[in-house]
């Protein structure tokens, strides 16, 4: 470590306190990575600020001494957006984890970016309200990271993405300036709304230091059906039938292969005795006896049409939670296989044809690899997971998978889809951004980056190269 950076470390210690600047090997490994396993981790230091003013001071120091900053939240990302592999300083928000204010009339909570998603969900429940953005990593992901990637999850069909729930935000730009965007207003027609530039920007334009999040009414008796489907194309008439009569809060799917792994790993029972190639999980609010009668009538209709072959419905909250585990436990269950992940989306109506095309392509390219499908079919987002054989080295496995990614993303482009539906671009998807964004769009993105971060100190090399 050279003398110039020793001076930087001393200056960082003056800002946050010596105990909150870490350079030991364990801290560098812990804070320098996310859930991707394809990249080397090599930060120079970790700094944990407590206030927005400290974040501003760190950014100004980085500009003055020309070192790069990688923002770090819950480190649950799947695209390498929080990986520090080039000697950067990791700015971790773990200490900025307080709920600062709540207003019942506005249904708004003011939070620091290090608040864990589940922490906000529990706080909302205590107020008799609901924070609807939910996914498998809710117990460890942080709100700042959710905003940085515009996280989605399992309730998007009803509640939308994280973007829909951000009423205001304070952001430190790449020059150390503090912007107060929208201030929690429901209506604000005063020009550019910078919130929506920072949401999904993966920490490349600014660092979120405060969030004003909107809450919703609690759902009433969420009830879950799991349906067995042999033909992927039949998911569309099933979705249309249920959406026409009930207000759905989720419409998910997973394959028999995915279910088999979850059952084996978690010891959960099958939803029903028969096996099918695919399963649809539907959640709706059971507000009255009529809603349950409608659901059962729709089930019978789909059965008569041959769209489904079997099914089950929850009779209690506990049963609903257990059925959800069949879907929600997939990511954790297959993580031990070091999966190569693709998080892709198309219009809902394109999903069956798109999935068939990609499945055939990947199966031909990797006849010896196990392919696991699951995702949020109700909003067009599917997750392709290719499992690493135990005997194959990680580097060789990722290289093999990478060779067919261009072919997969050509199918995505042909269907007018996105190479990243909810996980961000980071390092993993950056080489493929042109399949979802035009050359002109990418040039505008680079220009915006230069305005907010002229010295390219915020998460350099992620999302775009400038």
pLDDT per position as a tens digit, 4-43: 788 899 999 999 999 999 999 999 999 999 988 789 999 9
Per-residue pLDDT, 136: 86
Q: Are 208 and 112 in contact (CB under 8 A)?
A: no
CATH 3.30.465.10: which residues of the chain? Answer: 99-217
The whole-number average pLDDT for the span 260-270 is 95
Q: How confident is the model at residue 134 (pLDDT cuts 50, 70, 90)?
A: very high
What Rg do the C-alpha atoms of the chain give, in angstroms?
Answer: 23
Q: Is the pLDDT of residue 445 over 60?
A: yes
Question: What does the pLDDT look like over 140-151, one tens digit per residue?
Answer: 999 999 999 999
Mean pLDDT of the chain: 95
Question: What does the pLDDT look like over 223-252, one tens digit per residue?
Answer: 999 999 999 899 999 999 999 999 999 999
Q: Is the pLDDT of residue 83 over 70?
A: yes
Q: Is the pLDDT of residue 1 over 70?
A: no
The structural architecture, per CATH, of the domain 338-440 is 2-Layer Sandwich (3.30)
Q: Is the pLDDT of residue 116 over 70?
A: yes
Tell me how crowded residue 17 is: count the other CB atoms within 10 A of its CB.
14
Question: What does the pLDDT look like over 405-414, one tens digit per residue?
Answer: 899 999 999 9
Query: What is the dotted CATH code of the domain comprising 222-331?
Result: 3.30.70.2190
The whole-number average pLDDT for the span 92-114 is 98
Q: Which residues contact 400 (CB under 8 A, 6 or more apart)?
A: 366
Match domain 99-217 to its CATH number in 3.90.110.10, 3.40.190.10, 3.30.465.10, 3.40.50.720: 3.30.465.10
The whole-number average pLDDT for the span 281-304 is 96
The whole-number average pLDDT for the span 261-268 is 95
- In 3-state terms, what secondary structure has residue 217? strand
Match domain 3-95 to its CATH number in 3.30.43.10, 3.40.50.970, 3.40.640.10, 3.40.50.720: 3.30.43.10
Q: Is the pLDDT of residue 288 over 60?
A: yes
- Gap between the Cα atoms of 320 and 304, Å rounded: 25
Q: Is the pLDDT of residue 63 over 60?
A: yes
Q: Is the pLDDT of residue 301 over 60?
A: yes
> If we measure between CA atoms, which residue out of 196, 153, 176 comes closest to residue 49?
176
> Residues 398-402: contacts with CB within 8 Å, 24+ apart?
398/38, 398/340, 400/366, 401/340, 401/366
List Cα–Cα distances, 143 to 28, 410, 445, in angstroms.
Answer: 22, 33, 24
> If we measure between CA atoms, which residue out of 164, 129, 291 comes closest to residue 223?
291
Per-residue pLDDT, 209: 98
Return the percentage of the chain with pLDDT > 70, whole number: 100
- Gap between the Cα atoms of 157 and 160, Å rounded: 6
């Amino acid at each position: 470590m050279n003398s110039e950076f020793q001076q930087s470390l001393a200056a960082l210690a003056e800002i946050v306190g010596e105990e909150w600047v870490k350079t030991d090997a364990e801290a560098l490994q812990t804070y320098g990575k996310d859930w991707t396993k394809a990249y080397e981790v090599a930060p120079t230091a970790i700094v944990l600020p407590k206030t927005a003013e400290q974040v501003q001071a760190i950014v100004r120091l980085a500009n003055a001494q020309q070192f790069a900053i990688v923002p770090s939240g819950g480190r649950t990302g799947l695209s390498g957006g929080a990986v520090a592999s080039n000697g950067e300083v990791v700015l971790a928000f773990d200490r900025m984890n307080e709920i600062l204010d709540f207003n019942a009339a506005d249904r708004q909570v003011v939070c620091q970016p290090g608040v864990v998603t589940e922490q906000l969900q529990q706080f909302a429940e205590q107020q008799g309200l609901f924070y609807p953005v939910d996914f498998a990593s809710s117990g460890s992901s942080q709100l700042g990271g959710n905003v940085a990637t515009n996280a989605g999850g399992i309730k998007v069909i009803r509640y939308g993405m994280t973007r829909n729930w951000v009423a205001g935000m304070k952001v430190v730009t790449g020059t150390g300036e503090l912007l107060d965007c929208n201030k929690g207003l429901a209506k604000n027609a005063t020009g550019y709304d910078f919130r929506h530039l920072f949401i999904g920007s993966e920490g490349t334009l600014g660092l979120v230091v405060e969030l004003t999040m909107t809450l919703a009414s609690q759902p009433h008796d969420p009830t879950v059906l799991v349906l067995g489907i042999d033909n992927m194309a039949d998911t569309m008439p099933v979705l249309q039938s249920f959406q026409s009569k009930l207000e759905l809060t989720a419409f998910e799917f997973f394959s028999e292969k995915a279910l088999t792994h979850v059952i084996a790993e978690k010891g959960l029972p099958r939803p029903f005795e028969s096996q099918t190639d695919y399963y649809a999980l539907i959640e709706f609010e059971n507000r009255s006896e009529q809603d349950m009668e409608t659901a059962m009538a729709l089930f019978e209709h789909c059965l008569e049409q041959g769209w489904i072959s079997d099914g089950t419905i929850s009779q209690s909250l506990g049963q609903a939670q257990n059925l959800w585990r069949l879907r929600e436990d997939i990511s954790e269950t297959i993580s031990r296989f070091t999966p190569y992940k693709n998080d892709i989306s198309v219009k809902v109506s394109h999903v069956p044809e798109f999935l068939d095309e990609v499945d055939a392509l990947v199966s031909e390219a990797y006849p010896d690899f196990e392919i696991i499908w699951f995702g949020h079919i109700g909003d067009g987002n599917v997750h392709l997971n290719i499992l690493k054989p135990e005997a194959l080295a990680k580097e060789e496995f990722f290289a093999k998978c990478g060779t067919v990614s261009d072919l997969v993303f050509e199918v995505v482009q042909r269907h007018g889809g996105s190479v990243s539906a909810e996980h961000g671009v980071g390092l993993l998807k950056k080489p493929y951004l042109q399949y979802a964004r035009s050359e002109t769009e990418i040039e505008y993105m680079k220009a915006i980056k230069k305005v907010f971060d002229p010295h390219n100190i915020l998460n350099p090399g992620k999302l775009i190269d400038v």
